[in-house]
């Protein structure tokens, strides 16, 4: 089997918000009167219905070339209910409240899903996935599979995404102008931010540049912001950390407070954009392109995106502007921030897949859909039709772009790739692009060795399920207020005390009880 390189494009995280989920699935069972997408009555399935979102302009038609090829490959007639991504949450609630529930659904680990799964509404898959009977469903990242679970119980085959994405992106031309090396530590990163602000990196003789470019982050604490990265690099842990066998919130550590002081110093010294608290994230690239700011902490895929934008404005020198650096060493060691490693999962409702025999059949289909042949169908399309292979890369037929868009915008949503990605990557446009793609892969492998996973990711605290958003917002708001100089360290501690009293202590107790049960 050939392992094919590729950079996975980020996909929107999908959510289900309706409370109808709980009532919908609990009526299923083994009574033989199921009305799901299979044959009913507990018989073997001759067809398999799947509900999934799509991002393409239009969804694939029934029995399109991918549908037919996958049906032949798996030995069952696949029928996919495509739902626009923007409507997926609402549609899921409606479907689960009805009588015609698909055999497989793309689901997220929302509070409603957790409640329904623990009540028996979805098949628990832990033992099946650990059995070895479905080798293409054996996760290459056990930490990710654990994070997808509900208190250690796996209720879906997760859709794999890059585990390591965070990096530092810098203006390479500014580094060269100032004779600076790429920063390898957080202290060196601070010095680069200072130099980019104070030492005239563009050489125009004016005081018109700064180091960091930070937007107003749309998520709260633990949502992958530049601030979260800096705090983790400083040794504060990833939302939670284990200390003496107990789970502790990262923001209660000395390392977290040290990181906030680092962030505050960047802001107070003018080493970041002055509109960091209000800047629209959609405009994140603009200061970098316009020569205002020179440092971005974000996902690796932003680097080639910036290169393409520089090609539009300065084709001759486009390859000289962007430097990509992995996650740096902090004062307490080297820690890398991982992503969740997945974007939702394929879950199997018990009201439509009624028996263990049917479940095993569905799992075998999903196993077949993770073979190399199926991965190519789901991610590339039909070789010889919309793409050909050159030097182990996919080269796409421009005349079949509409079909390719349906593959990448719809069929790819059914790919899980938990045992590894084996489809083709797109042929890079230039040798430089190929080198940048390889650098990204090298940094992912290097940083994965130092990845710090959230030890509480698999745990579902009842209090956090109901009040977690408000609790997280308390802390993220206090962080911004401290960085802005609006409150001092005592003010931050006052907010942390409120977090404890308004439900945080209960969250800590519940998570640690669950953590002890996991062993």
pLDDT tens digits, 363-401:
999 999 999 999 999 999 999 999 999 999 999 999 999
- Output the CA angle 323-326-331, nearest 5 degrees: 120
In this structure, are residues 366 and 346 in contact, taking their beta carbons and an 8 Å threshold? yes
Residue 144: pLDDT over 90: yes
In this structure, are residues 366 and 418 in contact, taking their beta carbons and an 8 Å threshold? no
The pLDDT assigned to 42 comes to: 63
Joined together, the tokens standing for residue 365 give 């289909």
H/E stretch holding 186:
helix 186-198
Closest CA to 248 of 451, 450, 456: 456
Band (1; pLDDT cuts 50, 70, 90): very low
Judge residue 433's burial from the number of C-beta atoms within 10 Å of its C-beta, 0-12 exposed, 13-18 middle, 19 or more buried.
middle
More confident residue, 201 or 9: 201
Q: Any bridge partners for residue 260, and if so which?
A: none
Q: Tally the C-alpha atoms within 13 A of residue 47's C-alpha that lie toward its C-beta.
A: 15
At 58-113, the pLDDT tens digits run 999 999 999 999 999 999 999 999 999 999 999 999 999 898 999 999 999 998 99
At 261-314, the pLDDT tens digits run 999 999 999 999 999 999 999 999 999 999 999 999 999 999 999 999 999 999
The pLDDT assigned to 182 comes to: 98
The pLDDT assigned to 171 comes to: 98
Spell out the residues 6+ positions from residue 244 whose beta carbon is closer than 8 angstroms to its own.
none
| Same topology between domain 20-163+341-423 and domain 166-337+453-518 | yes
Q: What is the pTM of this model?
A: 0.87
CA distance 403 to 67: 13
CA distance 382 to 384: 6
- Output the CA angle 473-476-480, nearest 5 degrees: 135
Spell out the residues 6+ positions from residue 354 whose beta carbon is closer than 8 angstroms to its own.
28, 29, 30, 32, 34, 36, 38, 41, 42
Joined together, the tokens standing for residue 159 give 């859709």
CA distance 466 to 461: 9
More confident residue, 258 or 32: 258
The pLDDT assigned to 264 comes to: 98
The pLDDT assigned to 24 comes to: 35
Judge residue 452's burial from the number of C-beta atoms within 10 Å of its C-beta, 0-12 exposed, 13-18 middle, 19 or more buried.
buried
| DSSP secondary structure, 426-441, as one string | BPPSSHHHHHHHHHHH
In this structure, are residues 144 and 116 in contact, taking their beta carbons and an 8 Å threshold? no
Q: Three-state SS for 75?
A: coil
Band (44; pLDDT cuts 50, 70, 90): confident
CA distance 75 to 519: 40
In this structure, are residues 100 and 36 in contact, taking their beta carbons and an 8 Å threshold? yes
Band (30; pLDDT cuts 50, 70, 90): very low
Q: Any bridge partners for residue 329, and if so which?
A: 185, 334
Band (3; pLDDT cuts 50, 70, 90): very low
* CATH superfamily for domain 166-337+453-518: Periplasmic binding protein-like II (3.40.190.10)
CA distance 169 to 43: 55
> What mean pLDDT do residues 36-45 have?
58
| DSSP secondary structure, 148-172, as one string | HSBTTB--SEEEE--SB-EEEEEEH
In this structure, are residues 269 and 249 in contact, taking their beta carbons and an 8 Å threshold? no
Band (424; pLDDT cuts 50, 70, 90): very high
- Give start and end residues of each alpha helix (H) in 339-461: 356-368, 372-379, 401-409, 431-448
Show me where the domains of the chain are located: 20-163+341-423, 166-337+453-518
Give the mean pLDDT of the chain.
91
Band (41; pLDDT cuts 50, 70, 90): low
CB count, 10 Å around CB of 334? 18
Spell out the residues 6+ positions from residue 472 whose beta carbon is closer than 8 angstroms to its own.
220, 221, 222
In this structure, are residues 169 and 306 in contact, taking their beta carbons and an 8 Å threshold? yes
May I ask the CATH class of domain 20-163+341-423? alpha beta
């Amino acid at each position: 089997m050939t392992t094919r390189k590729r950079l996975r494009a980020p996909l929107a995280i999908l959510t289900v918000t309706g409370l109808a989920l709980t009532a919908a699935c609990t009526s299923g069972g083994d009574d033989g009167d199921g009305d799901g997408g299979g044959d009913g009555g507990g018989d073997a399935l001759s067809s398999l219905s799947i509900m999934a979102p799509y991002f393409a302009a239009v969804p694939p038609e029934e029995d399109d070339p991918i549908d037919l090829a996958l049906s032949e490959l798996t030995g069952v007639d696949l029928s996919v209910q495509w739902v626009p991504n923007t409507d997926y949450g609402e549609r899921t609630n409606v479907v689960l409240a009805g009588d015609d529930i698909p055999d497989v659904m793309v689901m997220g680990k929302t509070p409603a899903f957790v409640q329904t799964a623990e009540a028996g509404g979805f098949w628990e898959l832990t033992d099946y996935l650990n059995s070895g009977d479905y080798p293409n469903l054996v996760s290459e990242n056990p930490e990710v599979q654990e994070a997808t679970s509900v208190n250690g119980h796996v209720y879906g085959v997760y859709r794999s995404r890059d585990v390591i994405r965070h990096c530092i992106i810098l203006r390479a031309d500014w580094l060269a102008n100032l004779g600076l090396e790429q920063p390898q530590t957080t202290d060196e990163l601070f010095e680069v931010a200072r130099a980019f602000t104070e030492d005239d990196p563009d050489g125009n003789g004016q005081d018109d540049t700064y180091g960091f470019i930070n937007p107003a982050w749309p998520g709260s604490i633990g949502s992958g912001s530049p601030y979260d990265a800096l705090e983790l690099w400083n040794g504060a842990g990833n939302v939670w950390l284990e200390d003496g066998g107990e789970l502790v919130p990262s923001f209660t550590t000395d390392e977290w407070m040290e990181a906030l002081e680092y962030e505050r110093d960047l802001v107070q010294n003018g080493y970041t954009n002055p509109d960091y608290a209000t800047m629209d994230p959609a405009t994140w690239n603009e200061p970098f392109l316009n020569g205002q700011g020179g440092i971005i902490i974000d996902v690796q895929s932003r680097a080639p995106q910036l290169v393409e934008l520089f090609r539009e404005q300065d084709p001759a020198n486009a390859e000289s502007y962007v430097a990509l650096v992995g996650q740096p060493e902090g004062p307490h060691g080297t820690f890398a921030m991982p992503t969740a490693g997945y974007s939702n999962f394929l879950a199997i409702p018990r009201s439509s897949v009624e028996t263990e025999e049917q479940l095993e059949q569905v799992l075998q289909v999903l196993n077949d859909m993770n073979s190399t042949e199926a991965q190519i169908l789901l991610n590339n399309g039909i070789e010889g039709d919309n793409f050909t292979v050159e030097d182990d890369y996919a080269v796409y037929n421009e005349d079949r772009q509409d079909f390719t868009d349906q593959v990448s915008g719809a069929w790819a949503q059914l790919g899980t790739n938990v045992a590894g990605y084996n489809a083709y990557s797109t042929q890079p446009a230039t040798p430089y692009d190929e080198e940048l793609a390889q650098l990204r892969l090298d940094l992912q492998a290097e940083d994965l060795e130092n990845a710090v996973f959230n030890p509480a990711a698999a745990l579902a605290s009842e209090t956090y399920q109901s009040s977690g958003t408000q609790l997280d917002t308390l802390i993220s708001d206090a962080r911004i207020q401290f960085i802005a100089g609006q409150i001092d360290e005592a003010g931050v501690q006052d907010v942390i005390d409120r977090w404890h009293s308004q439900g945080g202590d209960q969250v800590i107790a519940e998570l640690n009880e669950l953590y002890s049960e996991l062993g």
